[in-house]
Amino acid sequence: MSNAPEIAGADLKRRAMRIGDFLDQIADLQADLKIEKKPAKENGYDLAALMKVVRELRMEPEKREAQLEFELVVDTYRKGVGLDTVNEIGIRQAVEKLDSGDTHITIEMNGMEPVTLGGEAGAVRRAEKRKQKVEAMT
């Protein structure tokens, strides 16, 4: 009588147990990830944006560059159909902050280092706004 069914059964059981162990490890890592995300959310981070950045950090540089090029094409198409681009929204928000009296703003654009503008930039912007109002009245 052959031992083939016993050997196959032992191999199957070993594989099933190993897969079960991997699934347990994955569950433990998912619990750790949930624990790590909680304080990030409590500190005001947008978790979807944070996870997108994490995925980008893990990408190969060539793939990340291709993704950025794709986003530029999408922005071009947005502009072509009359939608705002990400950069335009950021600039509009910065101008609104200056107009509301904020003395410092930080502007971040795709692929560029953030730029912080101090009080003099806000003062210049407010002066420009007053000048526009005066011109509009005359």
Instruction: Concatenate the DSSP letters of all residues of 7-54 into one string.
Output: HHHHHHHHHHHHHHHHHHHHHHHHHHHHHHHHHHHHTT--HHHHHHHH
Q: Per residue in 8-46, pLDDT tens? A: 888 999 999 999 999 999 999 999 999 999 999 999 989
Q: What is the pTM of this model?
A: 0.53
| pLDDT tens per residue across span 22-32 | 999 999 999 99
**Domain range list for the chain:** 11-57
Distances (CA, A) of 95 to 7, 36, 75, 90, 121: 73, 35, 21, 9, 10
